[in-house]
Amino acid sequence: MSKYRGPRLRICRRLGDLPGLSRKIAKKQNPPGEHGGKNRKASEYAVRLEEKQKLRFNYGINEKQLLNYVKIAKKVQGSTGLVLLQLLEMRLDNTIFRLGMAPTIPASRQLVNHGHIYVNNKIVSISSYQCKPGDSITVKEQLNSRKLIENYLMFPGLANIPSHLELDTSNLIGKVNGIIEREWVAVQLNELLIVEYYSRK
């Protein structure tokens, strides 16, 4: 099951800021749980596991999906960690979120599942669809669809649109101009530790 239905702020308190999961800010700074405030030295495995969990919860994918992305990234020439992040960032649900058309990735996934989004003038209802350079993302020509996106655009999840994306706010058209660069990835994590986590399994 890919959808996390539990308390999101609890996860943000444990793992740090996850812009894709929730836009809320926790009042409490210490991790959740009875022993949350106590300083404990984390093992190497715990550190790698935490980085992997950040990726999972931020992008809203399950363990099997993430493992498949790692396998694909290993086959591609270049840094496995960077390729993994690029694969996740180029998902349709994340691209909609990064364009500002939705406040969080779960909200953008709902837009896709409900048929509000077109890619290259064809309806796409699969949120894991891999966007490619040259793709055009448009909103369904219905009043309720356009009004929903316009409301979301007034309060975007992140302040800046990445350099590989471009948005025409008047016509609600998003364009993918290239592959995302590492510095534009919003979530703070060390992707090398995630690759190490899976290489030891």
176 and 134 in contact (C-beta within 8 Å)? yes
* Backbone phi, psi, residue 24, to 5°: -75, 155
**Same domain, yes or no: 82 and 95:** no
Residue 136: what residue type?
S
Whole-angstrom distance, CA of residue 106 vs CA of residue 191: 22
74 and 66 in contact (C-beta within 8 Å)? no
**Same domain, yes or no: 44 and 123:** no
The three-state (H, E, C) secondary structure of 143-186, written as one string = HHHHHHHHHHHHCCCCCCCCCCEEEECCCCEEEECCCCCHHHCC
**Same domain, yes or no: 51 and 79:** yes
The mean pLDDT of 142-164, rounded to a whole number, is 85
- Cα first-last separation, the chain: 21
Q: Which of 29-38, 111-120, 173-182, 183-192 shows the lowest per-residue confidence on average (mean pLDDT)?
A: 29-38
SS3 117: strand
**Same domain, yes or no: 96 and 80:** no
pLDDT by residue (tens digit) across 117-138?
999 999 999 999 999 999 999 9
**Same domain, yes or no: 99 and 46:** no
**Same domain, yes or no: 22 and 81:** yes
Give the residue numbers spanning the domain of 57: 8-87+186-199
Q: Which carries the bigger pLDDT value, residue 38 or residue 172?
A: 172
Residue 78 tokens read as 């270049």
CATH for 21: 1.10.1050.10
**In this model, does residue 70 exceed pLDDT 60?**
yes
pLDDT by residue (tens digit) across 5-17?
666 667 766 777 7
**Same domain, yes or no: 77 and 123:** no
Task: Give kind and range of the element (H or E) at residue 137.
Answer: strand 136-139
Task: Please indicate, yes or no, if residue 1 is contained in any of the structural domains.
Answer: no
Task: Please indicate, yes or no, if residue 3 is contained in any of the structural domains.
Answer: no
**Same domain, yes or no: 98 and 168:** yes
CATH for 174: 3.10.290.10
Which one, of 134, 145, 144, lies nearest residue 178 by Cα? 134
Quickly count: other Cβ atoms within 10 Å of residue 166's Cβ: 13
Q: What percent of the chain has pLDDT over 70?
A: 83
Per-residue pLDDT, 1:
41
Number of domains in the chain: 2
